[in-house]
Structure 1
Amino acid sequence: MQKPFSQACERNREPICQVLTTHFSDRRHVLEIGAGTGQHAIHFAAALPHLTWQCSDRAQNLPGIRAWLDEAALPNTPAPLMLDVCDTWPQLQVDAVYSANTLHIMGWPEVEQLFAGLPAILAPGARVLIYGPFRIGGQHTSDSNALFDAHLRAEAPHMGIRDFEAVNALAHAAGLRHLADIPMPANNRCQLWETI
């Protein structure tokens, strides 16, 4: 099959990889929630060979992810798992979770389910890193993010840029404490949590 391709993944992979190199240096097993095309997985798994990079996504995205993983043939990328955050989660335990550009695509109930599902899979001291745009203090961080948010909501009412404070409340309820808000290019952020 023709591999799916995201230009955004190509643009943001290096800045994200720098953050992962710093904050996942002592991790061993990462679950990527919403792996999308699979491009991030092969880039990060190649750059950080000490990590087992476990992709997951909804069933319809798994063939495209497999195409990227199969072509790269890296030893630290097992077959992707089917994961719908509103359904039964796979049985596994990881010391890191990564997700990029997912929260503004999911509906808010799905965001709630994502965080509600984390305690069952996170090992003690695990870290959670989420990349994407966030509203801070109820405000967009740029005019371009405000336009993007309006575009998302016009496309589908359930989508939209999330308020960091609301997301952080979900993380806290899931037993996570916030460690860092890392500004990224293109008005995105990396939000980092750790199990309490």
Structure 2
Amino acid sequence: MIPTDLPFSQACENNKAPILAVLQQAFANCSTVLEVGSGTGQHAVHFAAALPHLRWQASDQALYLPGLTERLRRAALPNLPLPLQLDISADALPAQQFDALFSANTLHIMPWPVVEQFFSRLNELLSEQAMLCIYGPFNYDGRFTSASNRAFDQSLKSRDPAMGIRDIAAVTALASAAGFSLQQDHSMPANNRLLQFLRNGG
């Protein structure tokens, strides 16, 4: 039964199963995962429960921590510690390094300079041979993949002109500069993608 007194995202409920199917193989050899932008915590709880070999560290900005913390506290999973406060553009990074990072539906919310910061800080956050999985809508060659994504982009820009669906080529260029190569571009429901990167080491 879904608690009615906690923040809730229907999109998270809809996409958690197909995302998990990818993470089961992408994170098979990982042990510690940092989730950036955990939001309601629905993903964190679902993935930590299904991937008991992982220590799943959720994080988000201070604004979202109360509801996120309460969801994780109620879940009481041994591999799901309470979340960290992390604004990728401002906060000090965790002292620990992780061997995987997951983020869903964040790059189109971040202004582009913050997206650049996100990738530039990966070397501080992640160990050698780390896996990086990023979920969300993306464009190809500057083109929307669906009418719904075009409408979503317009909605984002009406809220803040700095928001918007990012182009995969621009994202993979930032990842490459940070030492990550694109391993797979997974097609996901509702015109989303899951980009799976591997750090090249060194």
- TM-score between the two structures when normalised by the length of structure 2: 0.95
Displacement after TM superposition at 1:159 (Å): 0.7
1:86 Cα offset (Å): 1.0
Gaps of 5+ in 1: none
Q: Distance in 1 between matches of 2:26 and 2:199?
A: 14
- Distance in 1 separating the partners of 2:96 and 2:64: 20
State the distance in 2 between where 1:57 and 1:69 align.
13
For residues 68 and 125 of structure 1, what CA distance do their matches in structure 2 show? 31
Dislocated runs of 4+, deviation >2 Å: none
Partner of 1:173: 177
SS of structure 1 residue aligned to 2:190: helix
CA distance in 2, matches of 1:30, 1:76: 10
SS of alignment partner, residue 11 of structure 1 = helix
The answer on 1:68 being equivalent to 2:71 is: yes
What is residue 134 of structure 2 aligned with on the other side?
A: 130
Q: Distance in 2 between matches of 1:90 and 1:47?
A: 25
The whole-number CA distance in structure 2 between the counterparts of 1:51 and 1:122 is 15
* Structure 1 residue 112: Cα displacement: 0.6
1:144 aligns with 2:148: yes
- The corresponding residue for 2:52 is 49
The alignment yields a C-alpha RMSD, in angstroms, of 1.0
Does 2:31 align with 1:36?
no
CA deviation vs aligned residue, 1:115-136 (integer Å, no higher than 9, x gap) = 0110012111100000000001
Residue 25 of structure 1 deviates from its aligned partner by: 1.0
Q: Pick from 160, 164, 169 the counterpart of residue 168 of structure 2.
A: 164
Q: Residue in 2 aligned with 1:154?
A: 158
Per-residue displacement from partner, 1:161-196 (whole Å, max 9, x unpaired)? 001111111101111111110000000000011111
Q: 1:80 aligns to what?
A: 83
Q: Alignment partner for residue 194 of structure 2, among 167, 190, 194?
A: 190
1:109 to 113, 116, 122: 113
Rounded to whole Å, the distance in 1 between the matches of 2:185 and 2:61 is 28
Letter in 2 for 1:38: G
Provide the TM-score with structure 1 as the length reference. 0.98
1:2 Cα deviation (Å)?
Answer: 2.9
In 2: Cα distance, 1:84 partner to 1:117 partner: 12
Instruction: Kindly provide the amino acid, as one letter, of the partner of residue 95 in structure 1.
Output: D
Aligned partner of 1:96 in structure 2 is 100
Secondary structure of the residue that 2:127 maps to in structure 1? strand
Identical aligned pairs, as a percentage?
Answer: 54
Cα separation, 1, equivalents of 2:95 and 2:63: 20
Residue 21 of structure 1 pairs with residue 24 of structure 2: yes
Gaps of 5+ in 2: none
What one-letter code is carried by the residue in structure 1 that aligns with 2:170? Answer: A
SS in 2 for 1:186: coil
CA distance in 2, matches of 1:45, 1:13: 12
Q: CA deviation at 1:77?
A: 0.6
Task: Give, in whole Å, the separation in 1 of the partners of 2:94 and 2:79.
Answer: 18
